[in-house]
Structure 1
């Protein structure tokens, strides 16, 4: 997709890849992007970002050997043609947003088949080139969630102590709030682990909770002989 945010900077330093970590919209309407940058030349890319008309107030938050975390305010054409508000108001869930010199790749989950059509309409309205790379439909197989009334529900609904701590902290710190009150990186810093580790803990915790909550509900709704 040819969304203009940081397009100039990415084309100036084509070895660079951007991974959007967080999008925050203030009450004033100002939008802040937090994003990881992977590049062969960070100095050149920082210069390119300072010259890019779609962002301002660029700040480096964290530095690793192979990537850096930045925060910037989205402005100009990048803000005017942002897809974030349109996607969220139509029920779209942004799974990932990755930018390279060739454009932006969005992975979005929609609640119904009309979501993709709405996205096409938005891109046409903004004059953005849009290419569908892959489409799939997720099917939830409830038969895989055991309905055996005599099956034991694990203690704490199957959560390990680490998963429980991570999930509780994420909820308490506002990770699932709208707008998000803490980033994945900040949450990982509090827990003393990598952001990838936090993502995996939360994923496994949600799977365990969902599976065992269905099992518990099935048990409670199944008649038992006295």
Structure 2
């Protein structure tokens, strides 16, 4: 049940956020993720020539360890930067900690990092958001969509696609935890439906799961 999530990462410790605010375009596009050490990364950034940023300007940034010009691509100046991350950021974004794939380059603006990534499921995304929150990094979800699950995964229990999606979201958000970590209204907002519709989806899905599970249990013979 892979999902695609668009979200904004916000923290004063994120690299290049302050620098983006100084640019006329207020924007830097980058690809990142290669780990050189515990708190070092390689970023490939794309800059609008109209921003008039030089190699010396980039090298002067506190977080930049090394600057390598790569030329120009699609009308933009491209640089490879070795970046030293603050401990909080390094610990929150350990490569390989969460099952995800970057779909589009990161857009850095004064508001933070805009990211669009593919996650294995809702739980994987939620775990990442919780982990970042524990490190003082805010994740603002902009949109989330789910790929259709394999037919055999839902048809085994007779669930509809929407019932399957609603139940998967409820589980990942802690709706069934004690105490509950999310309300039906919050789940409904994420799915873009009304609260009564969400409650109805959950109730019908729960009934279908219970009915299917009980029917699949082997009949027992009791002797008196």
TM-score tier after normalising by the smaller chain length? 0.5 to 0.7
Unpaired segments of 5 or more residues in structure 1? 143-226
SS in 2 for 1:90: coil
Pairs within 5 Å for 1:147-158: none
Pairs within 5 Å for 1:146-225: none
Unpaired segments of 5 or more residues in structure 2? 1-8, 152-224
Task: Say which one has the larger Rg.
Answer: 2
Residue-by-residue CA offset, 1:72-129 (whole Å, 9 max, x unaligned)? 112142x64045425x322111222221222111111111211121121122122122
Alignment CA distance shift 1:28-1:102 (3 Å): closer
Residue-by-residue CA offset, 1:51-74 (whole Å, 9 max, x unaligned)? 432222122111257311111112
TM-score (normalizing by structure 2): 0.53
Shift of 1:39: 5.1
Shift of 1:137: 0.3
Shift of 1:23: 2.8
Which residue matches 1:21? 31
Which residue matches 1:106? 115
Which residue matches 2:99? 91
Normalized per residue, the structure richer in helix is 1
SS in 2 for 1:109: strand
TM-score (normalizing by structure 1): 0.52
2-structure distance, mates of 1:117, 1:55:
31
Which residue matches 1:59? 68
SS in 2 for 1:36: strand
Normalized per residue, the structure richer in strand is 2
Alignment CA distance shift 1:26-1:16 (3 Å): same
Residue-by-residue CA offset, 1:185-226 (whole Å, 9 max, x unaligned)? xxxxxxxxxxxxxxxxxxxxxxxxxxxxxxxxxxxxxxxxxx
Q: Which has the higher contact order (CA 8 A, sep 6+)?
A: 2
Which residue matches 2:131? 122
RMSD: 2.9
Single out whichever of 21-30 and 96-105 deviates more from structure 2: 21-30
